[in-house]
């Protein structure tokens, strides 16, 4: 079970014309990195996919340009990219202290997350700049991906998949082709958030017939 630490409790107020408390849940959470099976799985997938793309690209370029004798060079570049991406992940984990503070919100419109760490944002921009200067497509891609994940939302009318992980207190939501979100809940609000998600999923299915 994940040991992420809650840093603020849920907050839901009701004002005139605003969603009622039962339709809104706002909380912040320190997401653990190493030891978080979701983060590790996503990281391995990202590094593997990036390495495969770089390998195919350079093998094709060097193979067409110089023939078989250039294949070892292309493989060396691919291995170098793999090492650099792996090191960048370890550096990121070390700089962040193995935890990332995130704000989550679930209400009548959908689910949203927002990264709260300024260090995380700075690392993403640094990866883009350094990767571009060094010609490292993997670093640029990592920075762009990190920037894209600083704010993520899945509106209920786009919700296409829900996966519940009660043992980890995590809820996975998938919207359209580009919107995916994991809600890291606390021991106090997981049941409530899961019920809200299931209610909106059922309403969406009913609306679509």
- Quick: pLDDT tens for 103-136: 999 999 999 998 887 665 545 444 444 444 444 4
In this model, does residue 94 exceed pLDDT 90?
A: no
**Average model confidence (pLDDT) for the chain?**
77
Q: How far apart are CA 52 and CA 75, in angstroms?
A: 11
| pLDDT computed for residue 120 by the predictor | 54
| pLDDT computed for residue 146 by the predictor | 46
pTM, two decimals, is 0.72
pLDDT digits (tens, 9 = 90+) for 12-33: 433 334 444 468 999 999 988 8
| pLDDT computed for residue 121 by the predictor | 53
pLDDT digits (tens, 9 = 90+) for 164-188: 999 999 999 999 887 889 999 999 9
| pLDDT computed for residue 109 by the predictor | 93
């Amino acid at each position: 079970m994940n040991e992420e630490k809650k840093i603020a409790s849920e907050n839901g107020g009701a004002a005139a014309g605003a969603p009622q408390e039962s339709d809104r849940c706002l909380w912040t959470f320190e997401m653990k990195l190493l030891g978080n099976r979701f983060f590790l799985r996503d990281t391995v997938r990202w590094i593997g996919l990036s390495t495969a793309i770089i390998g195919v690209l350079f093998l094709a370029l060097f193979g067409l340009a110089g023939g078989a004798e250039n294949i070892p060079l292309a493989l060396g570049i691919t291995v170098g990219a793999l090492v650099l991406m792996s090191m960048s992940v370890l550096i990121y984990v070390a700089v962040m202290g193995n935890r990332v503070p995130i704000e989550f919100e679930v209400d009548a419109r959908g689910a949203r997350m927002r990264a709260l760490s300024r260090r995380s944002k700075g690392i993403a921009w640094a990866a883009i700049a350094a990767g571009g200067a060094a010609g490292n497509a993997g670093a640029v891609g990592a920075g762009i991906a990190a920037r894209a994940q600083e704010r993520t939302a899945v509106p209920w009318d786009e919700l296409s998949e829900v996966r519940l992980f009660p043992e980890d207190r995590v809820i996975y939501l998938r919207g359209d082709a580009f919107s995916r979100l994991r809600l890291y809940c606390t021991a106090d609000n997981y049941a409530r958030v899961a019920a809200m998600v299931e209610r909106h999923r059922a309403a969406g299915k009913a609306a679509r017939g």
